[in-house]
Amino acid sequence: MNYKKHILKLSAGLIVIAMLAWFGCAAKTSVSRIKPAEVSMGGIRTLALLKFEGRFGETVRSDFYNKLSAVPHFNLIDISKTNALDRVIYDQVDDPRFFPDLEDLHADGVITGRVTANINDMRGFDQVQMQEGTGRYKKEKNIFGKWVDVEIKKTVLRPVPYVIRQASLTTDFKVFNLKTKQIIATGKVTENYNQKFGGDKEYALSILGGMKLSQLPAGNQTLNELSANVASQLVAKISPTEVIETIEFYDGGKFGYGGHDMIKRGIEFAKRGLWDEAKAIWQDVIKAEPNNSAAYYNLGVAHEFIGNLENLQIARTMYKKALKYGDNELYMNALARIQSAIRDRQKYEQQKNLLKQTPVKKTQEEKGVRIY
């Protein structure tokens, strides 16, 4: 690769790293939030996953089952010892002929799906500039100040092979309510993959998007990655899921400089998990300085961290006051975020209350069925 271009790319990479370090130095905290299910599951509490059709159907179903079992919202039924897994397929889940098999599951609802997967590798060559020796030498000083012989290089174009991998995995799903004998939800989730390996990326820094041809994964590995992502999407469709978000504190300074000493002290307490102490300090700041927007903002972060509906509403009040006393994009983003969080929490509480009203079905151990 051309030496000067290599140096420029290296310099650009170092600048990016420096900028990330500069802007990433603000104190932060992680906030856990519950996202409600996208699809209303009604009174379904006990759930069974039927067969997912397609070559990668069992992979998606297995990933979906494992991820869903980690979410304490539904009781999952093991259907490995029943006829329903093999007999009931995607297009026939609402066929009355199979109701007896489904009723033997003792579930409130079932989910089935159809999986289609595609993968394609496009191959070619890029003409890449490289430095090549000429066999001629010149005298140059090395880093120690000594004269040494250095081979003279010339710039040449060489063909470098590449592979562009494009893949997609789509799952159509249906949710069938066994109590009402109706399909209550249908949908589709898709994950795509598009990555170039080798060619002009062969010698680029990884921070600048470099991917060596030797890093090309096996085809099944790519599809397994897509399957895991699709499974996560499916879980979010039907079940509340936990989302972790990183939120910045703000000490009132600019560009990493200045800031309010007492607010900084409160941030240090909050970073150690001592939220009551942190809130007390920021409240004292507000008593002394009623227009201190940074103190209001950090109090909002503290209440957002607690996460229940009451504290989310308090956080919204704090963010509104911060925005009233200070023109800061951080405050505007916080207010938009908390509005969304409150809506999500209200919807989640509705889903949770509806679930509490639905009794857990009993299973028949002699049939080999068990509830997780």
Q: Which CATH number characterizes residue 323's domain?
A: 1.25.40.10
In a domain, 21, yes or no: no
Contact yes or no for 319/331 (Cβ under 8 A)? yes
Collect all residues with Cβ–Cβ distance below 8 Å to 20 and sequence separation of at least 6. Answer: none
- Looking at the structure, do residues 222 and 262 belong to the same domain, yes or no? no
- Looking at the structure, do residues 224 and 287 belong to the same domain, yes or no? no
- Looking at the structure, do residues 333 and 300 belong to the same domain, yes or no? yes
In a domain, 9, yes or no: no
- Looking at the structure, do residues 45 and 94 belong to the same domain, yes or no? yes
In a domain, 137, yes or no: no
Strands 46-53 and 75-77: parallel
What's the first-to-final CA gap in the chain, in angstroms? Answer: 57
CATH assignment of the domain containing 64: 3.40.50
Helix then strand count (H, E) for the chain reads 10, 7
Arithmetic mean of pLDDT, 62-75: 88
Give 6-52 pLDDT, tens digit per residue.
444 444 444 444 444 444 467 999 999 888 988 888 778 888 899 89
- Looking at the structure, do residues 191 and 55 belong to the same domain, yes or no? yes
Q: With bands split at pLDDT 50, 70 and 90, how would you rate the model's confidence at 358?
A: low
Q: With bands split at pLDDT 50, 70 and 90, how would you rate the model's confidence at 2?
A: very low
Q: Quick one: pLDDT at residue 30?
A: 93
Q: Quick one: pLDDT at residue 279?
A: 97
In a domain, 228, yes or no: yes
- Looking at the structure, do residues 44 and 182 belong to the same domain, yes or no? yes
- Looking at the structure, do residues 57 and 97 belong to the same domain, yes or no? yes
Give 137-166 pLDDT, tens digit per residue.
998 888 888 999 988 888 889 999 999 999
- Looking at the structure, do residues 208 and 344 belong to the same domain, yes or no? no
Using DSSP, state whether 254 is helix, strand or coil.
Answer: strand
- Tally of CB atoms within 10 A around 158: 12
Above pLDDT 90, what percent of the chain?
56
Put simply, whether the predicted model's pTM sits higher than 0.85 gets the answer: no
Domain that holds residue 204: 37-117+169-239
What are the E-state strand segments in the chain? 28-35, 46-53, 75-77, 109-141, 147-177, 182-198, 241-248
Q: With bands split at pLDDT 50, 70 and 90, how would you rate the model's confidence at 80?
A: low
- Domains: count for the chain: 2
- Looking at the structure, do residues 198 and 51 belong to the same domain, yes or no? yes
In a domain, 305, yes or no: yes
Contact yes or no for 32/244 (Cβ under 8 A)? yes
In a domain, 312, yes or no: yes
Using DSSP, state whether 266 is helix, strand or coil.
Answer: helix
In a domain, 245, yes or no: no
Give 327-354 pLDDT, tens digit per residue.
899 999 999 999 999 999 999 888 878 7
Q: Taking the alpha carbons of 46, 32, 63, 66 in that order, is the dihedral positive or negative?
A: negative
- Looking at the structure, do residues 190 and 299 belong to the same domain, yes or no? no
- Looking at the structure, do residues 212 and 305 belong to the same domain, yes or no? no
Which backbone phi and psi does 135 adopt, to 5 degrees?
A: 85, 0
- 75-84, 189-198, 360-369 — which one is most confidently predicted on average? 189-198
- Looking at the structure, do residues 300 and 322 belong to the same domain, yes or no? yes
